[in-house]
Chains A and B, each alone.
Chain A
Amino acid sequence: MKLRKLTLTAGALALSMGGVAIAQAADLVVVSWGGAYTASQQNAYHDPYMAMHGDIKILNDDSAAEGVAKLRAQNEAGNVTWALVDVVGSDAIRLCDEGLALEIDHDTVLAPAPDGTPASEDFGDLIVSPCFIPQIVYSTTFGYRTDLLKRAPKKVKDVFNTHTFPGKRALERKPINNLEWALIADGVKPSEVYDVLDTPAGVRRAFAMLDTIKEQVVWWTKGAQPTQLLADGEVVMASAYNGRLFSAIEEEKQPIGMLWDWQVFDLDGWIVPSNGPHQEEVLKFLRFATDTQRLADQAQYISYGPARKSSAPLVGKHATLGIEMAPHMPTDPDNAKNTLLFNYEWWADNRDDMDERFNAWLAR
């Protein structure tokens, strides 16, 4: 394994040369998703925190999409330059499993709610891993063209009904969510979806349901695609992240309606790399950035629900549009009549298997 060591050293050398420029005492490299999402974080807590602490400088790195892979590479090279990484819940579990993320005692590290409720209770079951510090709840749900469809779809079943709702649909090119929706549309009780998926017959059933619309589906891979496909009239319905749909509807005034039925909740939040720099400063920053007010502030800039229960009543109006944000939150009671929180454990076990089946199915 001498050879490998040599490569790693070479890699570490290359990385450390890149890292020199940012290795001042209190420069925190914060990795997030870029675009509107990073902007919401910048406005809600990066800027206020830097104003309060002159010696801390937060540097944004927009590579969260490859965050897990890059963090693993940094670890193998023995030089972690990231101080804080924004990841989705399932990736937090994986990073924690691999020992790449720091385990956190949520109650001592994070601020309690204003009424004194400890953080672990305020976040509740959204803390899906001991390494994970939840930030927002987002959902993958459906948007449809209000002008191209004669009737508005009301149920997730309607997505699979090409007879009453003719036209193409855009779905994300991965099995997660699609298999669940297919089973629900096929009449499986939502609470039993994962029990059914656990059997070979259940998986076949889900794919058989997807078969019925396969010819009508445009598959998307990047978050910006579904709203673009909707705006172009390329598809009449599309699954998309609710924040993207919000900005297409409210900011770009596209003729798009929301179908919230069986929206799938997912979580996004922070992990601290276990060998990362400036851990002490990072934890101080986290205490501020995930307190009740800051998470509520973030919702003024983007329509994702704050992960703390105590933040919900503080969510106000959109910072530039001036509209109430609460009705656009996936967690709003009107929108959240039917919701699915996807089963992290089941997908951690079966993702490789399902990915292979899904891709083989696509290629047929």
Chain B
Amino acid sequence: MNSTLVTADGVPLKTSLARAQRREKAASLLLVAPLFLFIFITFLIPIADMLLRGVSNEIVAEQMPRTVPLLAGWDDVIGELPGEAVFAAAVADIRAGARAKTINRLGQRLNYERSGMSSLFRKSARRVLRLKEGPYREALIKIDRRWGDIQTWQLIKTFSPPYTGGYFLAAVDMRLDPVEGIARQQEDRRIYLNLFGRTLWLSALITLLTLLFGYPIAYLLATLPTRTSNLLIILVLLPFWTSLLVRTTSWVALLQQEGVINDLLVAVGILDNDSRLAMIHNRIGTVVAMTHILLPFMVLPLYSVMKTIPPSYMRAAVSLGAHPALAFLRIYVPNTVPGMGAGGILVFILAIGYYITPALVGGSSGTFISNFIAYHISQSLNWGLAAALGVLLLALVLALYLLYDRIVGIDNMKLG
């Protein structure tokens, strides 16, 4: 006889179970759908858009639709200017762009690659409208002799494809040279690698410091009777709820050369009036202020983990003959690793993206890469470069996260 189990209505049990599970799966999918859609629209799409911005370069082909295809057939290494046809196409493109008032965008774009392109296009756009007849080669060179420079044409040709690695190269202090290909940026223009390094190193330092300061506080909070610890936790949370700007500014008042700490040190005679310490508008300022601001993000996960460690563990260790210090190191500390991991990752990732505090107290040696992202978004308007820097920062955080997963294990992290 048939050996498969069937339900009361004759359907094989396996099928029936699968059907029930499918229904459940569909229901749970429907439940998470709103959140998923929300994250997709507000988080994943913008990130994808940012990624595209970091490589998108359609503007050149868009603004010079006649010139770009012709330039493709021009050999740019021989050292001869392109022919009359290319010049005529360029004049037509610039004229159309000037009428539509869009040509200067192209000038701005190319100016990121070479200084002077902005004014070249602005000037040419004005004059080209008055240009009647050819030969266009002489006419354009007469408008501005940079049109007679082969490098101008090499630049346009190099950056004519719709996608470019130019922004990403710039973000790691390299450049796309029309002749040399990918080359390192000139020495006096290299900034970003140095900044990435500084951001990582200072964030790591800040994370370590918050752990150092946060651990005893969390331990105290976890071991005190609930009434006292609740009171103390307010002291941790109060600064957490205070405006970031207020906390940053109060550090300025404390640390500056005519500030509270320096005044105190001079008053008790530890320091000379002339040798006041420079503790702000430099790296020290950034580290001190950010350690303070990020401390709650370390204390709270640590506290919640420590709360769950039964005091009997320690008592057992001591009763078995361990010195209290050894028992603490061998029994208590390993039990708090999930808290340290959670706090560490939280503080580190927050620190890496900070920009208000470093901007206010960091001076020139304490600024982070995010300050430059903000700068390129709102000041220089080089959104492509900002996007490339942002993507690199994101990749860096993800890489570190994976590394952490390898070494410590992400399951071993506990936020509460």
- Interfacial residues, chain A to chain B (CB-CB below 8 A): 3-4, 6-7, 10, 65-66, 68-69, 72, 94, 97-99, 103, 168, 173, 218-219, 221-222, 232-234, 345, 348-353, 355-357, 359-363
Contacts and interface: CB of A to CB of B under 8 A. Distances in A.
A360 B190 contact: yes
Contact of A359 (B49, B52, B118, B191): B191
Interface of B: 41-42, 45-46, 48-49, 52, 100-102, 104-105, 107-108, 111-112, 115-119, 122, 188-191, 194-195, 256-259, 281, 359-360, 363-365, 372, 377-382
Contact of B49 (A4, A222, A353): A4
B257 A360 contact: no
Contact of A349 (B119, B190, B360): B119
Contact of B364 (A7, A10, A68, A219): A219
B359 A97 contact: no
B378 A10 contact: no
20 contacts: A3-B45, A3-B48, A66-B378, A68-B381, A72-B381, A97-B108, A98-B108, A99-B102, A103-B101, A173-B364, A219-B364, A221-B359, A232-B259, A349-B111, A350-B116, A352-B111, A357-B189, A360-B189, A360-B190, A362-B364
A222 B41 CA distance: 34
Between A94, A233, A348, the greatest number of chain B beta carbons within 10 A of the residue's beta carbon is seen for A348
Contact of B191 (A219, A348, A356): A356
A232 B252 CA distance: 11
A355 B46 contact: no
Between A6, A97, A233, A355, the greatest number of chain B beta carbons within 10 A of the residue's beta carbon is seen for A97
Contact of B380 (A219, A345, A351): A351
Given A3-B49, A98-B108, A357 B377 contact: no
Given A10-B41, A94-B381, A3 B52 contact: yes
A349 B117 CA distance: 7
A348 B45 contact: no
Given A219-B364, A362-B364, A363-B195, A7 B380 contact: no
A352 B364 contact: no
A10 B45 contact: yes
A83 B322 CA distance: 75
B115 A7 contact: no
B363 A218 contact: yes
Nearest to B121: A97
Contacts of A233: 257-258
A350 B49 contact: no
B115 A352 contact: yes
B119 A348 contact: yes
A219 B48 CA distance: 36
Contact of A234 (B52, B189, B190, B257): B257
Contacts of B45: 3, 6-7, 10
Given A3-B48, A68-B381, A360 B191 contact: yes
Between A65, A359, A363, the greatest number of chain B beta carbons within 10 A of the residue's beta carbon is seen for A359
